A and B are shown apart, each in its own frame.
Chain A
Amino acid sequence: MANPARYWREIPQRYRLEAGKCRTCGTVFFPPRLVCAQCRSRSFETVRLSDEGTLVTYTVIRVGPSQFADQTPYAVGIVELDGGVRITAQIVDCDFEKLAVGLRLRVEFRRIQKQGEAGILCYGYKCVPA
C-alpha cells in the first residue's frame, strides 16, 4: 500500500538523511520532531546526517515480509552514524560472514522494497561496507 502522500512526506529523510537539530541543546533527531525530547525546545534547524558510520548490532532476516521476497535472506542492522544518530538499515554488498559489531559502513541510496501487486518501487538508504 504505497499511498503517495505517505511516501512523499518521508522523502527528505529517506533520500537525503535530513534531520532536525535542536537550536537550544543541540540534540539531533532523525526523523525531525516538533519538540525536543531533551529540553522541550520547539526550535530546530535542518541538518544532514553523516553518510558513514559503525555497525552496532545486526541480524539476517530469513523469513521476511512479502515486499522483501526478492531480497530474502538479507541483513539488517542498527548503524551509529558519525555524529551519534542511529538508524535501522539493510547491510548490503556484504557477505553475511563478514558482518561484525564495529564494522565500518557507508550509506548509499538504494531501492528498499517493492509494494503491492503493481510492484511499486520504494527507495531510501542502505549501508555497504566502507
Chain B
Amino acid sequence: MRDVAVLGVGLNSKWGELWEMSLRDIFVEAALNALDDAGVDRVDSIVVGCMTSGLFVGQEHLGSLMSDYLGMNPVAATRVESACASGGAAFRQGFLEVASGAADIVLVGGVEKMTDVGGDEATYALSAASDMEYEAYHGITFPGLYALVARAHMHRFGTTREQLAHVAVKNHRHGARNPVAQYPYEITVEDVLASVMVADPLRVLDCSPITDGAAAAVLCPVETARKLSKKPVVKVLASAQASSTIALHSRKDLTWFESTAEAAQKAYRMAGKRPEDIDVAEVHDCFTIAEIVVLEALGLVERGKGGQAAASGMTALGGKIPVNTSGGLKSKGHPVGATGVAQVVEITRQLRGESGPRQVEGARVGLTQNMGGTGGSSVVHIFETV
C-alpha cells in the first residue's frame, strides 16, 4: 500500500441552522474550501459520506449531485453510508483508493442537511441508525438508547451525573474558541443539570444538536503531498473499522463499545503507536456518556474512569490528552454524515499547528474516532506529521 497524506481540508464558514443553504451548496462550499487548501482543482474520485439525505431532504444519488455541482463530471463519485459514522467510513474509502493506487487524488466529503424537517421527522430519521423493528418500534429514541448506556455505566462504575455534565462543559469551553461551532459559548455544570430532561438521566445539554454542515478533505500519496504542499505533511498512519450488533440490547456489556475497541486495536497496530503516543483526539461525543465510554474503549482513559477524566481536566486543552478541541459534536454541532470528516479537519489543522487559540502545543500524533448508531460501527484513524 502507498503512504497517504491529507493534502487539504475545509469546512463551511459556519455550522448550524443554515436556512439559506441547500444540501448541495453546503457540501460544495466545504469541498471548495478543501480544494483551495490543497491547491488542486482536479481529482480522480469523489467519496461523499451522508447518513440519510433521503429522509432529511428526499435526495439520494449524492455522488452524481456533488460531482455535477462541483463541475467535476465525469469523475467517479459515490456515496458511503454507515449511519453517524458515514463521514469516517467515507474518509476510509478515500484512503483505500489512494493507498491501493486506484486513484492519485481523492476528494472526500461528508454532509448532512438536517433542518429542512421538524424535530419529530429528524428524530425519526436518526432512529433509522438503530434497529427499527426491535428498538425504535418500542419507542426508544437515540437519547434514550444512550441514556440506557449512561444508566448502566453509572450503576457499574459509579459514574456521576456531574461527571457527565463535565464532558459537555469541557467541549463547550473548547467550542467557544471555534468560530465555525454552532454553539460557540461556554456553559456550566449547573446549566447542564438545570436543562430540560430528554431521557433520564440525559438532559438536553448532554445531547449534540441538530446541525446543517459539511466537511471535506483531499487525499493523495505522501510523495505527491511533499511536492505540492508548503504546509507540514500530515500522513494517515492507520485506518481501521469494526462492527458490532445493531441493537444495543444484543450486547453482553452495555458499558462498552466493542466496535470502537476493536477498530482502535487494529489502528494502533497498523500505526505502530500506543494510546500514550496520542497528543490530541477527536471522538464521537454525540451524547456526554458516549465520550466517556469511547475514551475507555480507545485505551486513552482507564476502564470505568471516563467520567473522572472530564471532571479532572485530563481531557481538556492543557490536560494530559486534549479531546475534542473543536468543541466536539456537542458544541461544534453534529451534521451526522459530516462529523467523521470534520474530525479529520480538526486533527489535520492541529498537527499543522493551525488551530490558533485552541492549538495543542507540539501536537504530532492525532486520532479520530467516529461511531454509527450505538456503536454498531466505528471508524478510527491515526495521523502524524512527517
Complex alpha-carbon distance, A68 and B145, angstroms: 16
B138 with A76: CB separation less than 8 A = yes
Any B CB within 8 A of the CB of A65: yes
The yes or no answer to A121 lying at the interface (CB within 8 A) is no
Say yes or no: A88-B200 contact (C-beta < 8 A), given A66-B120, A71-B139, A77-B148.
no
Does B19 sit within 8 A of A, measured CB to CB? no
A-B pairs with CB below 8 Å: how many?
93
Assess whether A65 is in contact with B127, with CB atoms less than 8 Å apart.
Answer: yes
> Contact partner of B134 among A31, A90, A126, CB < 8 A?
A31
Most buried by B among A76, A88, A89: A88
* Chain B 250-279 interface 0/1 with A at a Cβ cutoff of 8 Å (1 = within): 100010000000000000000000000000
Other than A63-B143, A76-B144, give 20 A-B pairs with Cβ distance below 8 A.
A56-B254, A57-B149, A57-B151, A59-B199, A60-B200, A61-B141, A61-B144, A63-B199, A65-B127, A66-B120, A67-B139, A71-B139, A74-B139, A76-B139, A76-B140, A78-B248, A78-B254, A88-B140, A112-B139, A126-B138
Give chain A's interface residue range (CB within 8 Å of chain B).
35 or more
Report B196-237 residues with CB < 8 Å from chain A CB.
Answer: 196-202
B185 CB within 8 Å of chain A:
no
- Within the complex, the shortest CB–CB distance from A126 to chain B, in Å, comes to 8
B183 interface residue (CB < 8 Å to A): no
Write the A109-126 contact mask toward B (1 if CB under 8 angstroms, else 0): 000110000000010101
Give the nearest-CB partner of A59 in chain B: B147
In the complex, B123 has a CB within 8 A of chain A? yes
**Within 8 Å of chain B (Cβ to Cβ): is A87?**
yes
- Cα–Cα, bound, A77→B135 (Å): 10
- Within 125-175 of B, Cβ neighbours of A (below 8 Å) are at 127, 133-141, 143-144, 147-149, 151-152, 155
From B152, B200, B247, name the one whose CB has the most chain A CB atoms within 10 angstroms. B200
Distance, CA A30 to CA B141, complexed state (A)? 20
* Main SS class of interface, A: strand
Q: A122 — which chain B residues lie within 8 A by C-beta?
A: 137
A65 to B322, CA, bound (A): 36
Q: Are B197 and A56 in contact (CB under 8 A)?
A: no
Interface 1/0s, chain A 26-65, versus B by CB < 8 A? 0000110000000000000000000000001111111111
Q: B141, A112: Cβ atoms under 8 Å?
A: no
A86: chain B residues within 8 A (beta carbon): 249-250
Tell me the complex Cα distance, A129–B143, Å. Answer: 24
Contact with B along A1-28 (1 / 0, CB 8 A): 0000000001001100000000000000
Q: Which residues of A contact B199 (CB under 8 A)?
A: 59-63
Min Cβ gap A37→B in Å is 9
CB of B184 to closest CB in A, whole Å = 25
Are B138 and A112 touching (Cβ within 8 A)?
yes
Q: Are A62 and B197 in contact (CB under 8 A)?
A: yes
Are A124 and B155 neighbours in the complex by a CB distance under 8 Å?
no
User: How far, in angstroms, from A84 to B198 measured CA to CA in the complex?
Assistant: 30
**Contact between B134 and A87, CB atoms less than 8 A apart:** yes
Question: Which A residues touch B148, using CB under 8 A?
Answer: 57-59, 76-78
Q: Give 29 CB contacts A-B under 8 Å.
A: A14-B137, A56-B254, A57-B148, A57-B149, A57-B155, A58-B148, A58-B151, A59-B140, A59-B144, A59-B199, A59-B201, A59-B202, A61-B139, A61-B140, A61-B141, A61-B199, A65-B124, A65-B139, A65-B141, A67-B139, A68-B139, A77-B148, A78-B249, A88-B134, A90-B139, A112-B137, A113-B139, A122-B137, A124-B138
- The 0/1 profile, CB within 8 Å of B marked 1, for residues 85-104 of chain A is 01111100000100001000
Taken together as a complex, chains A and B put the C-alpha atoms of A90 and B199 apart, in Å, by: 13
A31 to B248, CA, bound (A): 14
Report the bound CA distance from A78 to B249 in whole Å: 6
**Bound complex: CA A90 to CA B250 (Å):** 17
**Which of A61, A71, A88, A101 is close to B248, meaning CB atoms less than 8 Å apart?**
A88
Closest to A102 in B: B155
Q: Are B151 and A59 in contact (CB under 8 A)?
A: yes
Return the chain A residue nearest B252 by Cβ.
A86
